[in-house]
Protein backbone atom coordinates (compact mmCIF):
# COMPACT_ATOMS: atom_id res chain seq x y z
CA UNK A 1 0.00 0.00 0.00
CA UNK A 2 2.89 2.36 0.72
CA UNK A 3 4.20 1.74 -2.77
CA UNK A 4 0.81 2.66 -4.21
CA UNK A 5 0.77 5.88 -2.16
CA UNK A 6 4.29 6.71 -3.30
CA UNK A 7 3.28 6.00 -6.89
CA UNK A 8 0.24 8.30 -6.59
CA UNK A 9 2.38 11.05 -5.09
CA UNK A 10 4.89 10.64 -7.90
CA UNK A 11 2.09 10.77 -10.48
CA UNK A 12 0.67 13.90 -8.83
CA UNK A 13 4.07 15.60 -8.87
CA UNK A 14 4.56 14.54 -12.49
CA UNK A 15 1.15 15.96 -13.46
CA UNK A 16 1.99 19.22 -11.69
CA UNK A 17 5.38 19.40 -13.42
CA UNK A 18 3.75 18.77 -16.80
CA UNK A 19 1.19 21.51 -16.07
CA UNK A 20 3.97 23.93 -15.14
CA UNK A 21 5.88 23.01 -18.30
CA UNK A 22 2.77 23.53 -20.45
CA UNK A 23 2.22 26.95 -18.88
CA UNK A 24 5.84 27.88 -19.52
CA UNK A 25 5.61 26.75 -23.16
CA UNK A 26 2.37 28.71 -23.64
CA UNK A 27 3.94 31.85 -22.14
CA UNK A 28 7.01 31.43 -24.35
CA UNK A 29 4.90 31.02 -27.49
CA UNK A 30 2.91 34.10 -26.56
CA UNK A 31 6.09 36.15 -26.10
CA UNK A 32 7.42 34.93 -29.45
CA UNK A 33 4.17 35.96 -31.15
CA UNK A 34 4.42 39.39 -29.53
CA UNK A 35 8.04 39.65 -30.68
CA UNK A 36 7.09 38.67 -34.24
CA UNK A 37 4.39 41.36 -34.23
CA UNK A 38 6.86 43.94 -32.95
CA UNK A 39 9.39 42.91 -35.60
CA UNK A 40 6.78 43.35 -38.35
CA UNK A 41 5.93 46.79 -36.97
CA UNK A 42 9.61 47.78 -37.00
CA UNK A 43 9.88 46.65 -40.62
CA UNK A 44 6.80 48.72 -41.54
CA UNK A 45 8.23 51.72 -39.71
CA UNK A 46 11.58 51.35 -41.52
CA UNK A 47 9.76 51.15 -44.83
CA UNK A 48 7.74 54.26 -43.99
CA UNK A 49 10.90 56.07 -42.88
CA UNK A 50 12.62 55.26 -46.17
CA UNK A 51 9.57 56.40 -48.14
CA UNK A 52 9.36 59.63 -46.15
CA UNK A 53 13.10 60.25 -46.57
CA UNK A 54 12.68 59.94 -50.35
CA UNK A 55 9.73 62.33 -50.30
CA UNK A 56 11.74 64.79 -48.23
CA UNK A 57 14.65 64.60 -50.66
CA UNK A 58 12.28 65.21 -53.58
CA UNK A 59 10.66 68.13 -51.77
CA UNK A 60 14.02 69.69 -50.95
CA UNK A 61 15.04 69.38 -54.60
CA UNK A 62 11.79 70.99 -55.70
CA UNK A 63 12.26 73.79 -53.15
CA UNK A 64 15.76 74.44 -54.50
CA UNK A 65 14.48 74.57 -58.07
CA UNK A 66 11.72 76.99 -57.02
CA UNK A 67 14.22 79.17 -55.17
CA UNK A 68 16.44 79.23 -58.27
CA UNK A 69 13.45 80.12 -60.46
CA UNK A 70 12.44 82.81 -57.98
CA UNK A 71 15.94 84.34 -58.11
CA UNK A 72 15.88 84.25 -61.91
CA UNK A 73 12.47 85.93 -62.05
CA UNK A 74 13.63 88.54 -59.54
CA UNK A 75 16.75 89.26 -61.60
CA UNK A 76 14.67 89.59 -64.77
CA UNK A 77 12.22 91.94 -63.06
CA UNK A 78 15.06 94.12 -61.83
CA UNK A 79 16.54 94.20 -65.34
CA UNK A 80 13.14 95.03 -66.83
CA UNK A 81 12.58 97.85 -64.32
CA UNK A 82 16.03 99.27 -65.08
CA UNK A 83 15.25 99.17 -68.81
CA UNK A 84 11.92 100.91 -68.20
CA UNK A 85 13.62 103.61 -66.09
CA UNK A 86 16.23 104.09 -68.77
CA UNK A 87 13.52 104.53 -71.41
CA UNK A 88 11.51 106.89 -69.21
CA UNK A 89 14.61 108.94 -68.39
CA UNK A 90 15.32 109.52 -72.11
More confident residue, 3 or 1: 3
Q: Residue 2's pLDDT band (boundaries 50, 70, 90)?
A: confident
CA 78 to chain centre: 48
To the nearest 10°, the Cα dihedral for 2, 4, 10, 11?
-160
Radius of gyration (Cα) for the chain, nearest Å? 38
**pLDDT tens for residues 59-86?**
999 999 999 999 999 999 999 999 999 9
Give residue 37's pLDDT.
83
Please state, in angstroms and rounded to a whole number, the distance separating the CA atoms of residues 29 and 79: 75
Return the SS3 of 70. Answer: helix
**pLDDT tens for residues 33-64?**
888 888 889 999 999 999 999 999 999 999 99
b or e along 8-32 (b: 16 or more beta carbons within 10 Å of the residue's beta carbon)? eeeeeeeeeeeeeeeeeeeeeeeee
Give residue 38's pLDDT.
85
With 70 as the cut, is the pLDDT of residue 1 above it?
A: no
Q: What is the mean pLDDT of residues 12-37?
A: 92
Amino acid sequence: MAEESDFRQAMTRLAEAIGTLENAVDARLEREQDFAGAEEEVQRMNSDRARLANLLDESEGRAERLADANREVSNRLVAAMENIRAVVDR
